[in-house]
């Protein structure tokens, strides 16, 4: 990915992230989030993580965004935040907090990048991640299935209507 393409997608990513945070309507925020997740998938592709790019589109844009929109449309009437904010003076502090955090993150990343660039070749796509998942990370991989099952049962239990 050349610098021009990168900057283009970076602007889209940051803009859509700002859209998520700034839009008052949750539906708009969810759609901005879909755009943001799509650009992240493009960055995965550029970094040679094809499997993750596809999984990103399938899991996030496919499942999670649909779940958000479903929850907003069907279960919760999308109400905008209209009531006056009792904590407004405190929330202004969010901007300096975010700026300080950003500076910290950039500093940490700059320190982390100072080391040697590593042995070398970028991992070869799907095969290397598959080998890792089914050898070194086999146990976490199996635990993930239990986690997903537990989440499914939990979501069913939580959203069930009480009888009587």
Partner 1 sequence: MVPEAWYLGLSAVLFSIGVVGVIVRRDPLIIFMSIELMLNAANLAFVAFGHRFGSAEGQAVVFFVMAVAAAEVAVGLAIIVAIFRLRRRLSVDDLSLMRW
Q: Which two tokens stand for residue 24?
A: 């008052």
H-only helix segments in the chain = 3-22, 26-46, 50-55, 65-70, 88-91, 94-112, 125-134, 138-159
Q: Whole-number minimum distance, CB 84 to partner 1, in Å?
A: 11
Q: What is the DSSP letter of 79?
A: -
Q: Which of 55, 3, 56, 2 is nearest to 33 (CA)?
A: 56
**Window 102 to 131, contacts with partner 1 (CB under 8 A):** 102, 105-106, 109-110, 112-113, 117-123, 128-129, 131
Contacts (CB under 8 A) with partner 1, residues 63-102: 63-64, 67-68, 71-72, 75-76, 79, 81, 83, 85-87, 91, 93-95, 97-99, 101-102
Rg of the chain on CA atoms, in Å: 20
Any contact of residue 133 with partner 1 (CB under 8 A)? yes
Q: Could you give the CA distance from residue 64 to residue 140 in angstroms, rounded to a whole number? A: 22
Interface with partner 1, residue 138, by CB under 8 A? no
Q: How many residues bind partner 1 (CB under 8 A)?
A: 86
**Applying CB under 8 A, does 6 fall inside the site for partner 1?**
yes
Question: Which residues from 11-30 bind partner 1, rule CB under 8 A?
Answer: 13-14, 17-18, 20-21, 26, 29-30
Nearer to partner 1, 110 or 164 (CB): 110
């Amino acid at each position: 990915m050349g610098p021009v393409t990168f900057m283009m997608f970076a602007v889209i990513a940051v803009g859509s992230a700002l859209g998520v945070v700034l839009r008052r309507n949750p539906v708009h925020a969810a759609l901005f989030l879909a755009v943001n997740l799509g650009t992240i998938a493009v960055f995965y592709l550029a970094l040679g993580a094809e499997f993750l790019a596809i999984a990103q589109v399938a899991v996030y844009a496919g499942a999670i965004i649909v779940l958000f929109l479903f929850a907003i449309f069907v279960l919760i009437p999308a109400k905008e935040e209209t009531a006056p904010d009792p904590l407004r003076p405190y929330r202004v502090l969010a901007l300096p907090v975010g700026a300080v955090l950003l500076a910290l993150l950039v500093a940490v990343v700059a320190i982390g990048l100072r080391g040697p660039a590593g042995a070398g070749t970028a991992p070869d796509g799907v095969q290397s991640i598959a080998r890792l998942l089914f050898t070194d990370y086999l146990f976490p991989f199996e635990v993930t299935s239990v986690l997903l099952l537990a989440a499914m049962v939990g979501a069913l239990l939580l959203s069930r209507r009480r009888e009587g």
